[in-house]
Amino acid sequence: MKIAFAFLLVAFAAVCVYATSPPNCEGVTCDPETCAKHECRCGTHKDACGCCDFCNKCVGEECHPEHNDHCEDGSHCVVKVVGEPAGPVPGHCEAAHESTSTAKPDTHVHVPDSEAPVEEHHEHHEGTEHAKTEEHHE
């Protein structure tokens, strides 16, 4: 039984590493004719190998940084951080100027996926400009 558990644990770890590793594009032959066609109202971005187009998420739409979602130009994925999340937390695409000027009491993380300038971590306080906070790791 211990051997089966150990094997299962190793297999699980291997799948996790494979799922989060960057793709191996060396063996990929790009043929744009084989790519799925999309009608995207908020622009497109290329896949990790630079071959096929995928739709960007529009402002207000849910985004998943762990799935490599991209928001439309001028916006980025904002993930609300409340306590210690038990797993991946989805965010929402927000315009860069909205997420840095709107008063919000919670702390959140910007996930850069466009050319929009972003801060790594900051807090919004009612009636004030946002203030960058420093992260301290012990």
**Is 7 contained in some domain?**
no
Range of weakest confidence among 51-60, 64-73, 129-138: 129-138
Q: What pLDDT sits at residue 2?
A: 74
Which residue segment(s) compose the domain that 63 sits in? 59-138
Decide if 17 is inside a domain: no
Per the structure, the count of domains in the chain is 1
53-78 burial, b if ≥16 CB within 10 A, otherwise e?
bbbbbeeebebebeeebbbbeebbbb
Q: Flag whether 20 is in a domain.
A: no
Residues 6+ apart with CB under 8 A from 20: none
In a domain, 95, yes or no: yes
**pTM metric for this prediction:** 0.54
Question: Is residue 19 a part of any domain in this protein?
Answer: no
CB atoms near residue 113 (< 10 Å): 21
